[in-house]
Chain A
Amino acid sequence: MKDFCIVPEPHGPVQLIRLSGSLDMFSFPRLEAQLNAFFQQGRYFVVLDCQELDYIGSAGLGALIGFAKLAREHNGDVRLLSVPDRIYKIIELLGFTRVLHVHNTEEDAVASFATK
């Protein structure tokens, strides 16, 4: 099992965060701390690059909804990028895509905040 890894990469006003490994209850607090740190800095435009993610747990998805809601209260959002097919099928079936926006390319994800 790959270790969970977070690599923040600013794109102007948008904060891109590249994730790899498994996002489970054990690793989620690290992402939670990172998101809280960005929000405290007033950075509410967040894109999570999931391309190298091999697992995301249901509790992690639920918590991401909470962060997306908080960001939206500040006119921002938490959006997902390049979600692997096996993960996407599950989050779509369970309805998480109703509340979490998913983008296929980095350009689209970053540009989606330009209309804000």
Chain B
Amino acid sequence: MNEPSKGISVGCTENRVYVRVVGRGTFQNSQPLRLFALQKADQGQREFVVDLGDCQGMDSTFLGVLAGIGLRLRQNGNPAAIHIVNISPRNLDLLQTLGLDRLFTMNSSAPPPLAETDYRKLPDTDLTQLTHSLDKDETTDLMIEAHDNLVRADERNALKFRELARFLREAIERRRRNQETRK
């Protein structure tokens, strides 16, 4: 049997969105997932299943994007609409450390899995291949939004990511000043 390729794959049924992470979930593949998930939420999808069975790890930006999806669904009046399935003890520890276990349901009453053939892979955002400053700026914006989501999910995260948040906001301030200078 072929092993699923590394990256983020997604699929949908009428009532459910499926996300599968193979390898690492990082800031390099977070943006396509964010855009896809928010589009699906806007289209009325209210239940997400995130399969972490082949996930080797997640960085804070990726977790912040997941948190953002959970917070968006909560805004729509559906608490615990994200099911995390097949999670390893290591990844569970990460979610608990950031207080995200309260935002999601873990392995309990998991919906039926999606057929392999119904998944499609999302593109990675390979930063090493990017040349446009806009993409870099978009990544900075994504990282800020993701870490703000982590703080919204659990205010204790503010201290954990204080230096990163400060660095990113300084980068945005430099960008703003440069743009003003160019005008």
Contact = CB atoms under 8 A, between A and B. Distances in A.
A24 B167 contact: no
Interface in A69-98: 69, 86, 89-90, 93-96
Identify whether the interface residues of A are mostly helix, strand, loop, or mixed: helix
B57 A59 contact: no
Interface residues of A, number: 23
A94 B136 contact: yes
Residue of A22, A57, A63, A66 contacting most chain B CB atoms (<10 Å): A57
Nearest to B136: A93
Contacts of B60: 25, 57-59
A59 B97 contact: no
B136 to A, nearest CB: 5
Contacts of A63: 163-164
A31 interface: no
B78 interface: no
Interface in B137-174: 139-140, 143, 160-165, 167-168, 171
Contacts of B160: 59
Contacts of B26: 57-58
Interface in A89-116: 89-90, 93-96, 99
Interface residues of B, number: 30
A99 B59 CA distance: 21
B57 A99 contact: no
Interface string A1-41: 10000000000000000000010111000000000000000
29 contacts: A1-B56, A22-B57, A24-B59, A25-B59, A25-B97, A26-B57, A26-B93, A26-B94, A57-B59, A58-B60, A58-B143, A58-B164, A59-B59, A61-B164, A63-B163, A65-B164, A65-B167, A66-B162, A66-B163, A69-B163, A86-B128, A89-B128, A93-B127, A93-B128, A93-B130, A94-B136, A94-B171, A95-B140, A95-B171
Interface of A: 1, 22, 24-26, 55, 57-59, 61-63, 65-66, 69, 86, 89-90, 93-96, 99
